[in-house]
Amino acid sequence: MAAFYNKATLTYNNGSTDSNIVTGELAQVLSAAKTALESDYDTNYPLTYAVSIVNSGASAFTGITVTDNLGEYTATPGSLTPLTYVGGSLKYFVNGALQPAPTVTEEDPLTVTGITVPANGNVLLIYKAYANRYAPLGTAASITNTATVSGTTLQNDIQASATVNHAAAPDLSISKTLSPETVTENSDITYTFVIQNRGSTAAEAADNVAITDTFNPILSNIAVTLNGTPLTEGTDYTYNTVTGLFQTVAGKVTVPAAEFAADSTGVWNVTPGVAILKVTGTV
Same domain, 160 and 276: no
Three-class SS of residue 103?
strand
Burial 206-232 (b: 16+ CB within 10 A, else e): ebebebebebeebbeebebebeeeebe
Same domain, 162 and 207: no
pLDDT band at 276 (very low <50, low <70, confident <90, very high): very high
Q: Say if residues 85 and 70 touch (Cβ distance below 8 Å).
A: yes
Residue 143 has pLDDT above 90, yes or no: yes
pLDDT band at 171 (very low <50, low <70, confident <90, very high): very high
Residue-range definition of the domain harbouring residue 268: 172-282
Residue 26 has pLDDT above 70, yes or no: no
Residue 135 has pLDDT above 80, yes or no: yes
In a domain, 139, yes or no: yes
Q: What's the rounded Cα separation, in Å, for the pair 48 and 91? A: 11
Element (DSSP H or E) covering residue 277? strand 273-282
- The helix, strand and coil proportions of the chain, stated in percent and rounded to the nearest 5, come to 0, 55, 40
Condensed to tens digits (0 to 9), the pLDDT of residues 224-266 reads 999 999 999 999 999 999 999 999 999 999 999 999 999 999 9
Same domain, 160 and 181: no
What is the biggest distance separating any 2 CA atoms in the chain, rounded to whole angstroms? 121
In a domain, 17, yes or no: no
Same domain, 75 and 160: yes
Same domain, 188 and 160: no
**For 146, what's the count of Cα atoms within 13 Å in the CB-facing half-sphere?**
7
Same domain, 107 and 198: no
Tell me the residue ranges of DSSP E strands in 118-198: 122-131, 142-150, 158-166, 172-179, 188-197
Q: What's the rounded Cα separation, in Å, for the pair 86 and 126? A: 11
Same domain, 73 and 161: yes
In a domain, 12, yes or no: no
**For 26, what's the count of Cα atoms within 13 Å in the CB-facing half-sphere?**
9
In a domain, 3, yes or no: no
Average pLDDT over residues 196-218: 97
In a domain, 249, yes or no: yes
Same domain, 39 and 113: yes
Q: Say if residues 148 and 109 touch (Cβ distance below 8 Å).
A: no
Last residue of a domain, one of 166, 201, 220: 166
Same domain, 158 and 36: yes
In a domain, 211, yes or no: yes
Same domain, 82 and 187: no
Same domain, 235 and 159: no
Element (DSSP H or E) covering residue 225? strand 220-226
Which amino acid is residue 262, in one-letter code? A
Last residue of a domain, one of 139, 166, 193: 166
Q: What's the rounded Cα separation, in Å, for the pair 183 and 282? A: 10
The pLDDT mean for the chain works out to 95
Torsion angles phi and psi, residue 74, rounded to 5: -100, 130
In a domain, 18, yes or no: no
CATH number at residue 64: 2.60.40.740
Q: Say if residues 275 and 255 touch (Cβ distance below 8 Å).
A: yes
In a domain, 22, yes or no: no
Three-class SS of residue 153?
coil
Residue 165 has pLDDT above 90, yes or no: yes
Residue 129 β-bridge partners? 47, 85
CA neighbor of 200 nearest in space, from 145, 257, 162, 144? 257
pLDDT band at 113 (very low <50, low <70, confident <90, very high): very high
Average pLDDT over residues 112-123: 98
Q: What's the rounded Cα separation, in Å, for the pair 237 and 219? A: 15
CATH number at residue 185: 2.60.40
Between the two ends of the chain, the Cα-to-Cα distance in Å is: 82
Average pLDDT over residues 49-69: 98
Last residue of a domain, one of 129, 144, 166: 166
Number of structural domains, the chain? 2
DSSP annotation of 206 reads G
Same domain, 178 and 157: no
